[in-house]
Structure 1
Amino acid sequence: MKGDSKKSEWIAETYDLFHLDVYRFLMSFTGSKSDAEDLTQETFMQLLKSSESIMNKKNPKTWILKVAKYKAIDHHRKRKFTVFSKEKFIKEVPAEGLNLDDNIIENEALKELMDCISSLKPTFKLVVILRGINELSTAETAAVLQCSESKVKTTYHRALKQLKSKLTNHSKGGNFLENVR
Structure 2
Amino acid sequence: MQTAIAITSAAGRGILAAQATSDEMLIESIASGEKSAMHILYARHHLRTYRFILRIVRDASIAEDLVSQVFLDVWRTAGQFEQRSQVSTWILSIARFKALTALRQRRFEDIDQDEVLQIADGNDDPEAAFDRARTSAVLRACMSKLSAAHREVIDLVYYHEKSVEEAGAIIGIPQATVKTRMFYARKALADLLRREGINSLAA
TM-score interval (norm. to shorter): 0.7 to 0.9
1:137 maps to 163
* Aligned: 1:155 with 2:155: no
| Alignment match of 2:147 (pick from 117, 121, 144) | 121
Question: 2:33: which partner in 1?
Answer: 8
The 5 A counterparts of 1:29-48 are 29-48=56-75
1:76 aligns with 2:100: no
Aligned length: 172
- Shift, 1:61, TM fit: 2.0
Write out aligned runs for 1:15-26 (5 A). 15-26=42-53
SS at match of 1:28: helix
d(CA) in 2 for partners of 1:92 and 1:19?
18
What does the per-residue CA deviation read over 1:73-101, in whole Å, with 9 as the maximum and x for residues that have no partner? 112222354334334136567853453xx
> Distance between the aligned counterparts of 1:115 and 1:157, measured in 2?
20
> What is the deviation of 1:119?
1.9
Give the alignment's Cα RMSD to 1 decimal. Answer: 3.0
**Structure 1 CA distance for aligned equivalents of residues 158 and 202 of structure 2:** 8
Greater displacement, 85-94 / 60-69:
85-94
Kindly state the Cα deviation for residue 42 of structure 1 after the two structures are TM-superposed. 0.9
Structure 1: tracts of 5 or more residues without a match: none
Per-residue deviation, 1:41:
0.6
Equivalent pair of 1:90/1:111 in contact (CA under 8 Å) = no
Larger radius of gyration: 2
Residues 1:27 and 2:58 aligned together: no
**Larger CA deviation: 103-112 vs 141-150:** 103-112
Q: Which structure 2 segments of 5+ residues have no match?
A: 1-27
| 1:5 shift after superposition | 7.2
- Name the aligned partner's letter for residue 153 of structure 2: V
Question: In the alignment, is the contact (CA less than 8 A) between 1:124 and 1:159 conserved in 2?
Answer: yes
